[in-house]
């Protein structure tokens, strides 16, 4: 089995995001010039091109914007032990959207608009991935 794709932890524009995830915290870049909170992290603000950015802790609350249950391990056996798994786009309360996995999904009840909260998965290869779970009403 080949390794799963892992983010580039050496990318200086994104390193604080992954370092925070390792502490089980969710942070997003915020533009000091125009106030935009955005994702994915990059060296400039996509709203106004300012390079004056700060990191802002966010609550990890949001809602399911859309989702799919993936039933096939595409290309090779990398994801064979994971299928079926749920890929979802989450809209955070702060605005940005993230593509993540939903953990322990209840597929019979899962719906767009469901409230979610952040959780964190420490992967064996030394990466922590922010993930989300549906908040029980």
Partner 1 sequence: MSVLDGIAIVGVAETAIGKLPGRSAISLQAEAGVAAVADAGLTKHDIDGVFSFSGYSQAMMLHAARVAEHLGLRPELAVVADVGGPGTHHAALLNVAAAIDADMCTAALCTYGENGISIRRSGRGRAPGTLTGGEDFEAPYGQIAMISGYALFAQRHMHLYGTTSEQFGAVAVTSRHHASLNDNAHKREPITLDDHQASPMISSPLRRLDCSLISDAGGAFVVTSIDRARSLGTPYARILGYGSAATHHIPSQAPDLHELGGPSAARRAFERAGLTVADADAVYIHDACTFSVVAGVEALGLCGEGEGGPYAESGALALGSACPVNLHGGMLSHGHAGGVFHLLDAVRQLQGSAGRRQVDGAEVVVAHGNGGVFSTFSTMVLGRGQ
Q: Which helix or strand (DSSP H or E) is residue 70 part of? A: strand 61-70
Who's near 135: CB < 8 A, 6+ residues apart? 114, 115, 116, 117
3-state secondary structure of 28: strand
Out of 29, 60, 62, 67, name the contact with partner 1 by CB under 8 A: 67
Site for partner 1 in 107-136 (CB under 8 A): 111-113, 127, 129, 131
Q: Interface with partner 1 includes 75 (CB under 8 A)?
A: yes
Q: How far is the CB of 132 from partner 1 (least distance, A)?
A: 10
Reference 92, options 137, 20, 29; nearest CA is 29
Establish if 56 lies at the interface with partner 1 (CB under 8 A). Answer: no
Instruction: Say how far apart CA 88 and CA 126 lie, in whole Å.
Output: 23
Binding status of residue 21 toward partner 1 by CB under 8 A: no
Q: Tokens 């993930």 map to which residue?
A: 131
CB closer to partner 1, 56 vs 123? 123
Among 43, 87, 106, 135, contact with partner 1 (rule: CB under 8 A) = 87
Biggest alpha carbon–alpha carbon distance for the chain: 46
Binding site for partner 1 (CB under 8 A): 4-8, 11, 14, 39-40, 65-72, 74-76, 79, 82, 85, 87, 89, 97-101, 111-113, 127, 129, 131
């Amino acid at each position: 089995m080949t390794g799963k794709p892992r983010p580039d932890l050496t990318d200086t524009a994104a390193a604080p995001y992954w370092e925070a995830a390792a502490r089980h915290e969710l942070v997003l870049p915020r533009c000091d010039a125009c106030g935009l909170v955005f994702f994915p992290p990059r060296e400039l603000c996509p709203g106004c091109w300012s390079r004056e950015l700060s990191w802002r802790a966010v609550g990890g609350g949001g809602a399911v914007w859309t989702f799919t249950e993936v039933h096939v391990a595409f290309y090779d056996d990398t994801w064979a032990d994971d299928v079926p798994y749920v890929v979802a786009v989450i809209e955070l309360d702060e605005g940005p959207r993230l593509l993540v996995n939903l953990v322990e999904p209840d597929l019979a009840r899962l719906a767009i608009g469901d409230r979610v909260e952040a959780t964190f998965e420490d992967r064996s290869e030394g990466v922590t991935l922010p993930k989300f779970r549906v908040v029980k009403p």
